Chain A
């Protein structure tokens, strides 16, 4: 296809050189071509997509269109979509069809975007490799022996393979940024509360945040503008006015302070990844940014704290999947207990069960303070660390992940090893801050992601840095 980014498609649609139906057909064709191998989609909805594309073309014809009208995109299968099944990567919801759209989906629809399907993901967003999906692993378009990262692995692979210009993701501990890094695309986790969680199936409510995954920072800015905004149905949704996230894109980085936390470059980081990030920071400096050394002293506590808080919340959030009202129910239960036990044992995969068990333990009587209480205290320390670091810098930069994408199966038998993939990302969720990952180089043919972390509600500065970087580099234009 001639057009890869939203900005390009939007211009072509406005100029009338292409229609939304044509774009959508091209997208559906490409999905049909690549998906059997990559497995990035769980569900594709050509009929609904083409109907929406027709509507979009009519809007364009009468001049009632916005920048996103008619642009095809995909939703991570964690976002509820009215009338289209939402599996959350689980057998538990194999046949679940929500009678409502998630808040974010509704907003993207209102902006005129055309949903083409639902992308694969780790089961209930629990995983860093997309291998926990009941619907099978997703392959990394750069190396089909490698994982795409997770949990938004399907969205990342779909964007990287140019199936869709944008896909929604969710990020609880790194689930947008880590797969974006592994697949060589751009992904943004907004500030907690920016994007409505209504209709976004909960993993860990205090950490979950939806956001866009795309090829460029500009596309992230455009789509975040549509996704974000107050939703009265989500009590944690912030009441802030709509913002134009593109407003700083063309502003130079001169004088902007870029903080480099030393803990991001400590033991555990692959040397090649470290070098790629160092040279990317060099690019930012050449663009006029000033490098500031900062420290996040409690960084090493983020993973342990995260793996108490997230499982604790998930143990409660996933209690509703009990086989009573909807979702998977075991066959021929002999009594209530049997129905509960077998429905949940058969409906959930191992990683989900592991986290439910860990979380149940962490909240149980006599352990609550030592685990959940302690993790909350660490969370406050980490927030304070970020506040201190961001008092000295406008954004923080570092690697998104300690290494590039790993081989399928390489870490699936060692959960701790798997959890360490998120060593640089979970702290950002604990602090509720916005963070992005953008392509910043390659190591052995696999993409390296650079993480940008901003002040609360300062996505615009992150996007400015990312866009300016992308004006000076071409990593984001490389296609697998």
Chain B
């Protein structure tokens, strides 16, 4: 029998607020254990949670970006369970009434098709702390720095049908939350974590198969591999007459497999109930409208504008729109006079290359957008050739100044004077009689060699187009 998978994702987006979801403690990553945990985070007696208004604003912004409904009243609930790194014995989350419901995100599949993934809900909650099992001689250490960090849990409908679409969705969401400035997207630090619900059913069947939930997938690659492994495991199980059981599984990237963590029978009863320490979260239309004003152009719209209005290739448009700062850099370069396609090529080529080499973010690079635009205009008006431009770019990167200054200082201005170029052409023809003969007899390849010799002689400054023309004239006319 042929099977088809059904996949839904739950992604925990860590909101980039300065303080925690319900306390004033800092959220910065990597502090000394328990240095960023206040009385509220420690769950001391008598202390109470207070909702972080910034986290709420971020949730609203996200809801608007996925065209979802923002609940005029949502409710924080307690999810009760015991765990050493859960200080209060419950997690404050949202259960029946989430802040964001019924949105969607359009994504491009590998075949270039656009599909719409429905987002069931997104709710605010607090993170737990961390249990540390090393260095404590058989005991467990608890670090509550992360406890109380605000999370937005984004849950899809089971609209995904293969691992690559799941990854495409995850990437699109990752791009979106960084665009909105609500998450730093750092997956190593756990700022963007994914759980995947996977089931398989016979092709054409309308009833969903039993699903397994795969926990804590913290890279795009792991999501893809874990889902593919899980699909294969379930199909093999069904093919051999077995049954899929509803359970939670953990992906082990070292062995590239998923392992059972707990079955449905062991599932805990979380005894959710509205948190009496918090009033319902009321969000007014005025507040929603104010947030709508702050909504930036979204990645997908920008990507399409780059492709259709600026005339970029689809793949380039996607790559350039992915990071808001990069897209802003591109647009700033264009508005400073740079040609859109050249600007795109330069950013994807030289700029990204230099950024990678020096481990810099676009906001940190020495070549600002107007500097790149000046370089591009020096190329387009014939002041320098594209090849020389790379040398100029490198000099700008080293902090030697702006493009035209460097060109003048280094004497890199392109030679457009026919007389001067003709002198180079004559010298090269005289020095290479054999190659000239070959060219005359129809070996076109030799042209490149001769042009190269002329360029070398001019130290790269001769206008290549003129060199070509003059050479042809001399030989064929």
Contacts and interface: CB of A to CB of B under 8 A. Distances in A.
Interface in A179-210: 197-202, 204-206
A202 B49 CA distance: 12
A368 B95 CA distance: 14
A365 B50 contact: no
A371 to B, nearest CB: 11
Given A80-B45, A372-B273, A324 B50 contact: no
B279 A235 contact: yes
Contacts, number: 99
Contact of A319 (B46, B88, B272, B273): B88
Interface stretch (B76-84, B234-242, B248-256): B76-84
Given A88-B45, A325-B43, A340-B82, A363 B50 contact: no
A368 B84 CA distance: 26
Contacts of B279: 235-236
Nearest to B22: A235
B51 A319 contact: no
A86 B45 contact: yes
A320 interface: yes
A312 interface: yes
A370 interface: no
A360 B89 CA distance: 13
A234 B142 contact: no
B89 A200 contact: no
A319 B50 CA distance: 19
Contacts of A233: 47-48, 50
B269 A235 contact: no
A368 B273 contact: yes
A336 interface: yes
Interface in A309-365: 312-313, 315-316, 318-320, 322, 324-326, 336, 340, 360, 363-365
Contact of A365 (B78, B87, B269): B269
A202 B45 CA distance: 7
A457 interface: no
Contacts of A86: 45-46
Contacts of B84: 322, 324, 336
B47 A198 contact: yes
A122 to B, nearest CB: 16
Nearest to B140: A336
Contacts of A80: 45-46
Q: Is the interface of B mostly helix, strand, loop or mixed?
A: loop
Interface in A199-248: 199-202, 204-206, 232-236
Interface string B257-296: 0000000000001011100111100000000000000000
Task: Give the interface residue-count category, chain A.
Answer: 35 or more
Contacts of B277: 202, 205, 235-236
A316 B89 contact: yes
A322 B78 CA distance: 17
A197 B271 contact: no
The CB with the most chain A CB atoms within 10 A, among B47, B87, B277, is that of B47
A312 B273 contact: yes
Nearest to B144: A325
B54 to A, nearest CB: 15
Interface string B18-58: 00000000000000000000010011111111110000000
B90 interface: yes
Nearest to A232: B50
A312 B80 CA distance: 11
Nearest to A78: B46
Contact of A320 (B43, B272, B276): B43
Interface in A418-442: none
Interface of B: 39, 42-51, 78, 80, 82, 84, 87-90, 140, 142, 269, 271-273, 276-279
Interface of A: 79-80, 86, 88, 93, 96, 98-100, 102, 197-202, 204-206, 232-236, 312-313, 315-316, 318-320, 322, 324-326, 336, 340, 360, 363-365, 368, 372
Closest 3 CB pairs of A and B: A319-B89, A206-B276, A205-B276
Given A100-B44, A206-B276, A326-B44, 19 more contacts: A86-B45, A93-B45, A98-B44, A100-B47, A197-B48, A200-B46, A202-B45, A204-B276, A205-B276, A232-B50, A233-B48, A235-B277, A236-B278, A316-B80, A322-B84, A322-B89, A324-B142, A326-B42, A365-B269
10 contacts: A93-B45, A197-B48, A198-B46, A202-B46, A205-B277, A235-B277, A235-B279, A236-B276, A315-B80, A324-B142
